[in-house]
């Protein structure tokens, strides 16, 4: 299993609009296609105006297949168009769980 951690820096003052766009246009389709959301968070201390979300996949092939499917969804493309104006920076990391780490099933 792998976990993808995606961190987005949102423009100052744009967090409410970004969150609204995600909740209304992105959440349902992303959850339906990607499957196992590990968590979705905003920062309160440290570097502010960040959204961090994590998704679990069986392996890199599972991730590639699901993300390819996501970009075939018109709802997702609509969400991307609505949310891009709020973004300043994006960082993605693929994480390997420690041997004893077991995520709950999705």
Q: How confident is the model over 11-43, as pLDDT tens digits?
A: 999 999 999 999 999 999 999 999 999 999 999
d(CA 40, CA 19): 11
Domain definitions of the chain by residue range:
2-95
CA dist 91 and 47 (Å) reads 14
**What confidence score (pLDDT) does residue 13 get?**
97
pLDDT digits (tens, 9 = 90+) for 53-102: 999 999 999 999 999 999 999 999 999 999 999 999 999 999 998 988 87
Q: Which CATH number is associated with domain 2-95? A: 3.30.70.100
Positive or negative, the CA dihedral 40, 11, 17, 22 is negative
Q: Do residues 8 and 85 touch, judged by C-beta distance below 8 A?
A: no
Strand order in the sheet with 87-95: 36-42, 50-57, 2-10, 87-95
How far apart, in whole angstroms, are the C-alpha atoms of residue 34 and residue 67? 7
pLDDT at 106: 62
Do 89 and 32 form a contact (C-beta atoms < 8 A)?
no
């Amino acid at each position: 299993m792998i976990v993808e951690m995606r961190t987005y820096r949102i423009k100052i003052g744009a967090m409410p609009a970004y969150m609204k766009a995600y909740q209304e246009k992105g959440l349902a389709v992303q959850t339906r296609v990607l499957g196992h959301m590990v968590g979705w968070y905003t920062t309160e201390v440290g570097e502010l105006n960040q959204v961090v979300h994590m998704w679990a996949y069986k392996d890199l092939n599972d991730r590639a297949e699901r993300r390819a499917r996501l970009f075939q969804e018109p709802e997702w493309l609509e969400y991307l168009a609505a949310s891009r104006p709020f973004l300043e920076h994006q960082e993605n990391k693929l994480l390997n769980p420690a041997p004893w780490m077991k995520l709950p099933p999705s």
